[in-house]
Amino acid sequence: MAADARVEVSRGDVAERIGREAAAAGADLVALCTHGGRGVRGLLFGRVAQQVLNRGRAPVFLLPPSPQGREATFLCRRVLVPLDGTEASEGVLPQAVALAGAFEASVVLESVIPTLSTIRGVRGATARLMPRVGAAVLDEEAGDAAVYLGRVVTRLEEAGVTVEGVVERGEPVKVLEEAAARHGTDVFAMATHGRAGVAAIWEGSIAARLLERSGKPLLLVRITAET
């Protein structure tokens, strides 16, 4: 495998420079280390990683540092892809499937439906005011999610992908973290709008908390108008 190394000294916008170099090299992927001590949340949707994703077209692959700086072997046996039932969230599938194919890994598609106790915001408050109705609505959503995942699984299986779909209930990050441990997941893959500020709060909290709590690599693919 050919490799090129260079050291850049820049006092300008680091994310812009990384994006420009990636574009000039025709990079298909930008890999960044989280440097845990600097704060996962700040790196993920802050000055570097989020802006690199926002300004370029290449996916960003975030990897935690090796223990005590030692070189670690990268393993990819299963890729876990959270899907929320929207076409936008499926934007990560081509890259997730390509990654899995390169390592002969399998793909796990996961949809998480909240329970009455874990649903948040105004919707959660409304559901808890009418618990029977709220529970029935969430049960219906779980059923719809199972049908949806079944269609996606069938589509991927027809393309030769080893894949399974799972619907679970609870708080998203906790459920995904537990699912990753149960399935032996090595990599998370998620679609994101690559936005900063209020628009990124939901997706940012999910992705950043997964990376922080699980310590597993995370592939982020930007959702674009063409996705």
Question: Quick one: three-class SS letters along the chain?
Answer: CCCCCCCCCCCCCHHHHHHHHHHHHCCCCEEEECCHHHCHHHHHHCCCHHHHHHHCCCCEEEECCCHHHCCCCCCCCEEEEECCCCCHHHHHHHHHHHHHHHCCCEEEEEEEECCCCCCCHHHHHHHHHCHHHHHHHHHHHHHHHHHHHHHHHHHHHHCCCCEEEEEEECCHHHHHHHHHHHHCCCEEEEEECCCCHHHHHHHHHHHHHHHHHHCCCEEEEECCCCC
CA distances from 82 to 1, 24, 151, 218, 219 (A): 32, 32, 15, 12, 12
- pLDDT value for 211: 73
| Residue written as token pair 């909240």 | 114
Integer Cα distance of 193 and 126 in angstroms: 28
The pLDDT tens digits of the residues spanning 57-66 come to 788 898 877 7
On the 0-12 / 13-18 / 19+ scale of CB atoms within 10 A, 12 is: exposed
Domain boundaries, the chain: 74-187
Model confidence, pTM = 0.82
Question: Which CATH number among 3.40.50.2300, 3.40.50.620, 3.20.20.450, 1.10.132.10 corresponds to the domain 74-187?
Answer: 3.40.50.620
Among 79, 136, 126, smallest CA distance to 104 is for 79
- pLDDT value for 10: 63
- pLDDT value for 12: 65
Q: How many CB atoms lie within 10 A of CB 22?
A: 19
- pLDDT value for 55: 73
- pLDDT value for 149: 96
Strand 218-222 relative to strand 60-63, pairing: antiparallel
Low-confidence residues of the chain, pLDDT below 50? 37-38, 40, 43-44, 46, 196-203, 227
Integer Cα distance of 54 and 18 in angstroms: 12
- pLDDT value for 116: 87
- pLDDT value for 196: 45
- pLDDT value for 50: 67
